[in-house]
Amino acid sequence: MKKIILDNIKTLFYALIIALIIRTFLFQPFYIPSSSMEPNLLIGDRLFVSKYAYGFSRHSFPFSPTNYNIRFFGYEPKRGDVIVFKTPADDRTDYIKRLIGLPGDTIQFIDGEFFLNNSVVERKEINTSTIINCGSEILDVNFFEEELDGVKYIAAYRKKGTLQNTDKYTVPSGHYFFMGDNRDCSKDSRFLSSVGYVSFNNLVGKAKIIFFSNNIEEGYFIKFWKWNKSIRLKRFFKKIM
């Protein structure tokens, strides 16, 4: 009996070690808690993030255990990537946004148009009458297809009250500029006091694929009798663009 218990403990220990290695160096699951990346990522989406996409920093490990700001095997991210990062404000909270600006880039909104390095980012309206979530609020928005360095994605802009004009943001060396796809419902790099420019060492990984999705407004996963309404089967194994 004692041998069986010890064998079970060893098996559990090895399983935990393997899970920790996978989570730290390969893939980590994340949950989408807000509307800031709609319509591309929905509340209730669960996705895998590649931990090796940009190399490894202290934030690759659970609880960010050290204070060393060094990145090993670092690879530069690309504009348009959807990335999980630790917010500069506390180095703890996970945010997921789209990478807009690289070091040295300038970003500005002028009369509602999005400018990158003094050139307007071309966009094509794909829907003229659409609503989207912003927490408990419903926004009336226009959907536009935008493209950054060959990456095409859908961005939502509020029909009334969208961001019109901003100062010019200049991304410092070693930092990046992020925005949510739900442009008027996202706390991101435009808010310099709370998010601002994100250091390369704060990048956690690249969002790759949705492996599960559940509409919590229709019922949590444990409420199996509501699965026919709550589970979004069409979003399973959807590649993140």
Residues identified as active-site:
36, 97
State the greatest distance between any 2 C-alpha atoms of the chain, in Å, as a whole number.
75
Task: At 184, give phi and psi (nearest 5°).
Answer: -100, 20
Tell me the three-class secondary structure of 109-139, residue by residue: EECCEEEECCEECCEEEEEEEEEEEECCEEE
- Cα–Cα dist 182/184, whole Å: 6
Q: Which residues contact 98 (CB under 8 A, 6 or more apart)?
A: 37, 80, 81, 82, 83, 153, 178, 179, 180, 181
- Cα–Cα dist 87/196, whole Å: 9
How far the first Cα of the chain sits from its last, in Å, is 52
**Cβ(80)–Cβ(121) below 8 Å:** no
DSSP-derived 3-state class of residue 19: helix
- Report the candidate in 202, 84, 58, 187 with the shortest Cα–Cα distance to residue 134: 187
